[in-house]
Amino acid sequence: MNGGADWSSREDMAWQRLAGQGELTEYQRSMIKRDLEMGMVMSVFRQRVERLTVQVVTETRQVAWTRTADKTDGVCGYLSEMDLFEIREVRPGRNSKDFERFRDGKDKHDGNTCFTIFYGSQFVLNTLSLGADSVEDAEKWLTGLKLLRQETLAAPTPAIIESWLRKQMYSINQTKKNSLTLKELKALLLQINYKAPNSRALKDKLTEVGAKKDHLDFAQFHKLYNLIMFEQKDILEDFKRESCTFIMGSTDRPDASTVLLHDFQRFLLYQQREPWATDVNLVKELMTTFIDDTMRKTNDPEFTVSEFLSFLFSKENSVWDEKQSQISTADMNNPLSHYWISSSHNTYLTGDQLRSESSTEAYVRCLRLGCRCIELDCWEGPGEPIIYHGWTRTTKIKFEDVVRAINEHAFVTSEYPVILSIEQHCLVEQQKQMARIFTEVFGDKLLTEAVEHMAEQLPSPTQLKGKIILKHKKLNLEEGISSKEFRKGQKQGDLEIWDPVDQRWNKHYCIISNDKLYYAEEYEPEEEDPREYQDLHCSEAWFHGHMQEGTQAAEKLLYEYSVESGDMDGIFLVRKSNTKLTGFTLSFRRSGRVQHCRVSSRVEEGRSYYYLTTSLMFPSLYALIQHYRANPLRCQDFELRLTDAVPQRDPHLLQGWFYPNLCRGQAEDYLLRIPRDGAFLIRQREGEADTFAITFRGDGKVKHCRINKEGNVFLLGNSTEFDSLVELVNYFRKKPLYRKIKLRYPVTPELVSRFSTEKDCASLYEMKTYVEPNEIEPSLPVNSARALYDYQAKRHDEHTLTKGALIHNVTKELESWWKGDYNGRLQLYFPANYVEEIASNPNQERIEQETEDNPLGELCKGIVDISKCNIQHLTSGKNKKSQVLSLQERGQESLQFDLAADSLEELFEWYQIKQQEEVAKRGVVALEMSDLVVYCQPRSKEKDRFDSYNYKEVRSFVENKTPGKSQTQKFLQYNRKALSRVYPKGQRVESSNYDPHPLWAAGCHMVALNFQTADKYTQLNSALFTLNGCTGYVLQPEMMRFDTYDPQPEKRKVKLNLVIRVIAARHLPKLNRSIVSPFVEVELCGHTEDNKFKTAVFRENGLNPAWRTPAEAAVLPVYEPELTFLRFVVNEEDMFSDPNFLAQATFPVRGIRTGYRSVPLKNGYSEDLELASLLIYIDVEQVGKTEEALYTSSGQLQKKQAAAAAGSEPFLYDSQRYALGRQTSTYDRQKAKEKKINNSKFY
């Protein structure tokens, strides 16, 4: 990464220059925004530099870019767009990878005119790198984007809904069209996760909103949306009960009755427990935000029932108390050892631990997410240090680039200290370079001296503001710091393995260890931008390939399609040219006639471009057609936009995977011969002309799924539509059909024949030489036991056990003392009452053992036992590869497992298959590096002994080697004084994470997680560090600093009960083509029991599902509110009844608000999902308080309301915010608590 000014300072300077001095005036703001709306022609740096028009679309709150020639008449076909709320950073200068491609001097843009927009909702962000024509234009964009993003994030929910509706309307054909046809509306409703009950019901709604001739303008579309969302009106029945704070009138129609100002105020005060609602002016202000009729925004506003319902789902009614997200500066004055510190593991990685990309942007992303402890894995590089995951195929990045990136972004989100955890693998000379780079780049930010020399405790975050702390070995900490690193002789790298099913070589990452060859999944080529993918047109419905009768066949198809669908201009198809070898022909219908246009191509700088006119060229045929579907094709005599694609007639009949006459039993027989998940065929069901079935292998079993043909559409399941079976197959080649399985191996008659005659292919699997993951069953030693508790050895012939440890080859030598093998130590004693016996080969233990011993962990695809094989070097090669090794199982010489390498030398290394010991000798720690270390001095010896320690030290533990139960109190005492860090075990090569909660409860400060992985544990981490202003520092509860605190569950007591009812949801995300069937799982994470429940599945509705049953609420006990998290997970049930993750929301219990509340949903990476939310009822009961103290009876509640209405001030509840409006009796709650709801899975 190039050096450059800090983004915020450059942006502030731009702001000041545009404002003169001081703040921008409202006029200056409006002029900047107007210029951005008008659009500017800029250079866009992608695969090549293009001149495009970039503009802000205020109606949809987006930034869009389009070809300059297309920006006419207010109708624009966007090449692409981004949402303003997804912008994470705008970085000035030529500071992104996009610019690095163009360092050849041809690009004349100065760094001051360039900037990059980083946007997206995944860990790895998208980039739009731009070069403006002047510094002034660049500064306008820097300032304008900041303004617009601030406005977007602060926009009220009704404004966001309006821009979302505009976005949906424009998305139909990528134009700023302000009307919809009925056909377009049906497609749009499917797109937003809604399936209309039937055509009649939809037409009735259209009549109600005033639509004429099956066309809707935007106002009518908005009304239709409100009608559809009001289908959740049954929710409002809760507000018709006498116990409610106000009695709601009729809810037959959206405007059937109203909620008056003072009724709404009482609702906020007594049901929602909002103390600010004592100010009626604030209540008025909130109400007018949700009233869409200007005439009703009076001094005495009132809600329609529809508007009240919208409020309930809004972010303004969130279950989370935003005050808990504010920084508490008073809490930042304790020693560092009193805090949880947001920490990342192998921060440089963007994916798995073996093959993914290392990137400086991963550091930037983590720092901007508030992470305060990041890891630098430093290795010897060519002339300078590098960072990567040693001994793997992860890419390498320069150490200096990483340091500069840290310097620029360390304190953008949080001003509190950053800890750099250095994994040192460099020799002395490059360590000296590291020290020099740290000193030169960080300058005064680098902490090199103690804050207080006579102190006996760590300094506070406040004392260390803006400081960078190095965690690294220090020469005076331990004697003999010089070290030798030993790495057992594993051979690892890339090999190609011959696939007898696919009949091709596939590249795999392989490791040889302990006489076994472990190999990962084959490499799949990285997906390119579909607009630039040369062959993407081949899977499109409009592409017909070579048509024998050419022009006549095309005209016939277009005519037949126009008769079926109505004679409309713009229907089209594309075919290969009959006259030009590399050309194509576009055929379309206009004014009752068919016209043909030649699509030409040319090659420039090694890349192909396609065009109708040389003034406008495209990187692929697909991109050309997409462009003319969004923008008019202009000729001298006419303008026309391409509309519907004319598909081929039954293209599946030409495919080898389609069988018109194959029964279910024969299909299963064919699939059972092909021993691969992802093998598939499609067959016509017997005696049913319009019904098909896809038969495929998944998890080692043969599965079937029905496909119905309805008109011209093929329907998989109930709502997933495809224009053809070919389109269906192409779609599920890229997207998983079942769990993680994609369609991979078409079961053609040729493949079936080959597997019927060639014994080798199938037998190779049967002999377990070449196996799938679901077939790997390494046998565990017999007589195994699992530790139920931690046990600390008292004698040298005893095992020290941690809870969950597996002991094998157990012998019951004495009744109370058994012997067994554990942790590499054989036949030592352990107490029998500390363990439980387990079956010799249960599935869970098999998985644990396999993962623990497997160097590829869950990434492993298969294992070959080399000790059972003869190895032969095929000097003459095989299957077009010149360098091949063949492994043959002894006694089965006909079975071969073939490996190929890129060179003879590399193959020879693999050929020498034996255990070697590779010794990498490292020199002593460089004095220059040692001098930079002050507080975080690692201790590597006797880490689990806590009888003496220094507050300046830090102890690091792998997740499964942390101090056991017997040392809990000593570990807690240590953590009150000095720092500890925990990191994932080495087998987590897929970058999975472990549960951080038990470690937080034990006082561990830096619980390092793989931020690039979206899972439950990073979501818990994100929830914890939402507290205290996302500073990355959260003060541990005061109770943890007393000796009476014990994190073990045996001594805990219930302090709170959460009473929760899931009512409904809105705007759930859509995973694929099908409408989702959602259900919600609710879980308490922490020291809890009976801690989860789930709703029923709501079929085919992701826009506005509502769960009215069960009516009773669930009761979840909370033992430690300060250490407990409330987690909502929305899954969808797919056609195979498997759950698939849709969204989640995770909150610390301490910040939960009561009443009828909205739960704003986030994606797996804890980024906001636009408008997605749940509606719940939640009550917080403090255990031990009387019913009178909680004011729960309806009589008491009415008395309090009456008193409030008569007095000068409304009644205010205490600050504990324990809920008042419980909808269930004590008996009902107890019944709900005792009821076993389910055993749910969480993803």
- Active-site residues, by number, are 345, 389
Q: How far is 749 from 506, CA to CA, in rounded Å?
A: 23
Q: How far is 1122 from 1128, CA to CA, in rounded Å?
A: 18
Cα dist. 1225→382, 1113, 1152 in Å?
Answer: 72, 10, 22
Nearest to 443 by CA among 404, 414, 473, 475: 404
Q: How far is 306 from 228, CA to CA, in rounded Å?
A: 11
Q: How far is 570 from 591, CA to CA, in rounded Å?
A: 9
- List the structure tokens of 857: 């962990």
Q: Which residue has the tokens 């631990």?
A: 353
**Burial profile 534-546: b = 16 or more Cβ within 10 angstroms, e = fewer:** eebbeebbbbbee
Q: How far is 93 from 131, CA to CA, in rounded Å?
A: 9
Using omega within 30 degrees of 0 as the cis cutoff, is the peptide bond preceding 156 cis? Answer: no
Own/partner pairs, 999-1002, CB within 8 angstroms, 24+ separation: 999/959, 999/962, 1000/340, 1000/1024, 1000/1123, 1001/1047, 1001/1086, 1001/1087, 1001/1120, 1001/1123, 1002/962, 1002/963, 1002/968, 1002/971, 1002/972, 1002/975, 1002/1047
Total H helices, total E strands in the chain:
29, 58
Cα dist. 872→374, 405, 763 in Å?
Answer: 46, 50, 20
Q: How far is 887 from 634, CA to CA, in rounded Å?
A: 63
3-state secondary structure 807-841: EEEEECCCCCEEEEEECCEEEEEEEHHHEEEECCC
State the Cα torsion 231-234-239-240 to the nearest 10°.
120
Pairing outcome for strands 869-874 and 884-889: antiparallel
DSSP string covering 387-399: ES-TTSS---EEH
Confirm if 398 and 384 have CB atoms less than 8 A apart. Answer: yes
Q: Which residue has the tokens 């530790």?
A: 787
Query: How many Cβ atoms are within 10 Å of 161's Cβ, its own excluded?
Result: 22
Query: How many Cβ atoms are within 10 Å of 321's Cβ, its own excluded?
Result: 15
Nearest to 11 by CA among 93, 84, 125, 131: 93
How is residue 473 annotated by DSSP? Answer: -
Q: Helix, strand, coil shares of the chain as percentages rounded to 5?
A: 30, 30, 40
Nearest to 37 by CA among 62, 66, 57, 65: 57
Q: How far is 81 from 1070, CA to CA, in rounded Å?
A: 19
